[in-house]
Amino acid sequence: MFKLTNKSVIITGGGSGIGKAMAVLFAQQGAEVHIIELNDQAAADTVTEITTAGGKATGYACDVSNQQQVVDTFAKIGKIDILINNAGIAHIGRADNTSTEDFERVFNVNVKGAYNCLYAALPAMKANGGGVILNTASIAASVGITDRFAYSMSKGAIHAMTLSVARDFLHDNIRCNCISPARVHTPFVDGFIAKNYAGREDEIFEKLSKSQPIGRMGKPEEVAALALYLCSDEAGFITGTDYPIDGGFITL
């Protein structure tokens, strides 16, 4: 079950954290993985890890917020069976202290970046007879995390984008879903703690872990396993849905 033999999979932000765990797992399941990364060294390291283990992977230096770069990169890749819009950035701030620059930076990557990838991938998917799209949102979209105004808004847009695309391409054999993690232990979280709580890293890590109802952060591999299911043929009846993966954050 959950085999992806010879499927061509694009994963944005596949050089780190959740995207990297997806890239490694999808390659283990037989996919040819294409990693789209701002950080080309992270992409290259992930490609090396996958190919050393006998998998198929290629890295591409590409900023998802730049439509021309995305279109050119996806044209090089050609066949696209699965697109995972996963690259994302965070920002701390409320509506009354988020600058226009910060607001636009978050939306350019988290929202416009996903749109750019859809714009480039959908014609290729349609020509190929169908495909699967998975978007990484966040529980921030549903609960509006404190002090994450632009980030929460951007992830809400990903929820709406998922519904819109699922509906518009229902009869093109294209499924579109999203996943909404609570805190997952990745460089994204470590970087956030280091930047904002220098000298208190262990204390804040513990506090953030305990703030999850389940008492710990998620693991990137746990999120990758959900992504694998949703992108596999076994999930063929699932589209237009958001899957929280949150240790009970939303419901408990």
User: Which amino acid, one-letter code, is at 64?
Assistant: V
Per rule CB under 6 A, is residue 59 in the interface with ligand NAD? no
Q: Are strands 242-245 and 174-181 parallel, antiparallel or unpaired?
A: parallel
Pick the closer one to ligand NAD by CB: 107 or 188.
188
Q: Are 50 and 29 in contact (CB under 8 A)?
A: no
**12: which residues sit within 8 A by CB, 6+ positions away?**
19, 36, 37, 64, 84, 85, 86, 87, 113, 117
Pick the closer one to ligand NAD by CB: 38 or 125.
38
- Closest contact distance (angstroms) between CB of 112 and ligand NAD is 9
Scan for tokens 């014609």, then name that residue: 123
- Using CB under 6 A as the binding rule, the residues of this chain from 188 to 207 that contact ligand NAD are 188-189
- Closest contact distance (angstroms) between CB of 195 and ligand NAD is 12
Q: Are 13 and 88 in contact (CB under 8 A)?
A: yes
Scan for tokens 């000298």, then name that residue: 199
Binding to ligand NAD by CB under 6 A, coded x per residue (else -) over 78-117, reads --------xxxx-------------------x---x----
Scan for tokens 């859809």, then name that residue: 118
Pick the closer one to ligand NAD by CB: 105 or 126.
105
Among 11, 38, 153, 231, binds ligand NAD (CB under 6 A): 38
Q: How far apart are alpha carbons 226 and 228 in whole angstroms? A: 5
Active-site residue, 197 included: no
Scan for tokens 């959908």, then name that residue: 122
Residue of 60, 115, 119, 151 with catalytic role: 151
How many residues of this chain bind ligand NAD (CB under 6 A)? Answer: 30
- Report the interface residues with ligand NAD, using CB under 6 A: 12-13, 15-19, 36-39, 42, 63-65, 86-89, 109, 113, 136, 138, 181, 183-184, 186-189
